[in-house]
């Protein structure tokens, strides 16, 4: 079976995300655009994942719960989990090793987390788009310890990526690479050595109109998408990612 996925989405929790990006609005829009599997991946925090869980269940979308973590190298990594509680746990660990830079909503943007009814529960005090004191390899190992999937984000972008920060795609303990340019047809993209990692795209949406702008197809074959408890089967997703183009 082929499912359509968008695994890089920001909500109103991210300071660069629009306030209209509530978990409920995101889930409803994704459903209307034919997305079957979606992940919420705010910067360094998972506080909107519980509301996203409820919204996706109501919209009929299989949900992953994640974080776009910023590492010591200033690389962005998608950290994806089957349960919101696990994403929240990693978020707490990252927050503890982030610098004490306060957010300035007037300059940087709001960082609000909400409930399933779109009521604001609170605001995050630290500015979320800063680097946690954890290296990219250490982070990937931690994600796997927690049962998750680790994917370097927009690895071919000129900022906050493997290429921009390290100058190349190194070998690492990752399940896939997210690229902005796929297929690898443009001259600049063809020159990129992706080291044989499975390749995906996603919207990196910060606004409603950007949701599902770069979805990708995931062949899960005959494997179950969901476990008996209704959560996404991570082994199915890992196996499907391994079948992606490289």
pLDDT by residue (tens digit) across 62-73?
Answer: 999 999 999 999
Q: How confident is the model at residue 188 (pLDDT cuts 50, 70, 90)?
A: low
pTM of the model: 0.95
Beta strands in the chain (DSSP E): 2-9, 37-43, 62-70, 76-81, 112-114, 120-123, 149-152, 177-178, 199-200, 216-219
At 89, list the tokens.
């746990």
pLDDT tens for 34-57 read 999 999 999 999 999 999 999 999
pLDDT of 193 reads 86
pLDDT of 36 reads 98
Paired sense of beta strands 216-219 and 120-123, if any: unpaired
At 173, list the tokens.
């303990």
At 183, list the tokens.
């297929």
Q: How confident is the model at residue 144 (pLDDT cuts 50, 70, 90)?
A: very high
Question: Contact, 57 vs 116, CB < 8 A?
Answer: no
Mean pLDDT of the chain: 95
């Amino acid at each position: 079976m082929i499912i359509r996925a968008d695994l890089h989405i920001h909500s109103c929790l991210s300071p660069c995300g629009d306030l209209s990006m509530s978990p409920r609005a995101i889930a409803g829009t994704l459903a209307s655009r034919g997305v079957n599997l979606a992940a919420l991946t705010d910067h360094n925090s998972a506080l909107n994942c519980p509301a996203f869980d409820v919204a996706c269940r109501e919209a009929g979308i299989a949900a992953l719960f994640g974080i776009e973590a910023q590492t010591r190298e200033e690389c962005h990594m998608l950290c994806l989990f089957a349960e919101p509680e696990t994403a929240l746990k990693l978020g707490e660990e990252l927050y503890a090793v982030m610098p004490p830079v306060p957010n300035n909503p007037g300059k940087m943007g709001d960082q609000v987390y909400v409930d399933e009814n779109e009521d604001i529960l609170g605001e995050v005090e630290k500015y979320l788009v800063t680097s946690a004191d954890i290296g990219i390899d250490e982070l990937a190992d931690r994600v796997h310890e927690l049962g998750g999937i680790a994917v370097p984000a927009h690895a071919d972008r000129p900022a906050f990526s493997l290429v921009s920060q390290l100058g190349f795609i190194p070998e690492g303990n990752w399940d896939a690479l997210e690229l902005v340019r796929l297929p690898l047809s443009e001259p600049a993209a063809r020159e990129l050595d992706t080291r044989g990692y499975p390749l995906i795209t996603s919207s990196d949406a910060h606004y409603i109109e950007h949701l599902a702008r770069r979805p990708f197809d995931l062949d899960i074959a005959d494997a179950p998408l969901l476990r008996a408890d209704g959560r996404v089967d991570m082994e199915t997703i890992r196996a499907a990612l391994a079948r992606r183009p490289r």
